[in-house]
Amino acid sequence: MKKTLIIPFKTIDKEIINHLGKKITEILGYKVVVNKEQISIPSSRKIGLQLFAEDLFPTLRGELMKTDADAVLGIIDKDLYAENFNFIFGLAYSDCSLISLHRLISEDKELFYTRAVKEAIHELGHLAGLGHCPNISCVMHFSNGLGDTDIKNETFCTKCDKRFRSRGR
């Protein structure tokens, strides 16, 4: 069973962290460990108030290296951007993934939590070797906006699930 370390940046609510941990275990079968402390946001290139997501990865990798976890999921409440994208919901590379809650927020708490789960599963799916899926209801479908996120499920389609399981999770 793979082990994923959740690292919250700064002031992420413990309730959503715990919810994400439960859903990751339920959907992916991963053991989840939450970093004991929320970590400070490192300096990053910025456009306005947006942070350049890739600048956060050395911090995530450094925290991962202190543990026996296989991968890390960083959670931040700041708006993020990446090369060639004016905003992103999340990013994954090698053994590190990151999601931003900033654009997922809704007055409807259940909708907010569901969006966060979808983005977390999507990014962890990338770490497991999955690419984007053309099936709009698959969690691995690329989200251009919240409409795309809201349409898709929290889980993989049949094809992506088969690929995920064939890779040994």
d(CA 131, CA 141): 9
Mean pLDDT by 10 residues, the chain (169 residues): 91 94 97 88 74 91 93 96 90 95 95 98 97 98 95 98 85
The burial of 162, by beta-carbon neighbours within 10 Å (0-12 exposed, 13-18 middle, 19 or more buried), is given as: exposed
Which residue in 139, 136, 94 sits closest to 114, CA to CA?
139
Q: Is the pTM value of this prediction over 0.85? A: yes
Output the pLDDT for position 52. 87
Output the pLDDT for position 40. 79
Output the pLDDT for position 38. 84
Identify the sign of the CA torsion 93, 28, 149, 99.
negative
Please say whether the beta carbons of 12 and 38 come within 8 A.
yes
**Catalytic-role residue among 54, 63, 123, 154:** 123
In angstroms and rounded to an integer, the radius of gyration of the C-alpha atoms of the chain is: 15
Active site residue 63: no
Considering the domain 3-129, what is its CATH architecture?
3-Layer(aba) Sandwich (3.40)
Output the pLDDT for position 119. 98
The per-residue pLDDT for range 52-61, each reduced to its tens digit, is 898 999 999 9
Output the pLDDT for position 44. 73
Indicate the SS3 state at residue 117. helix
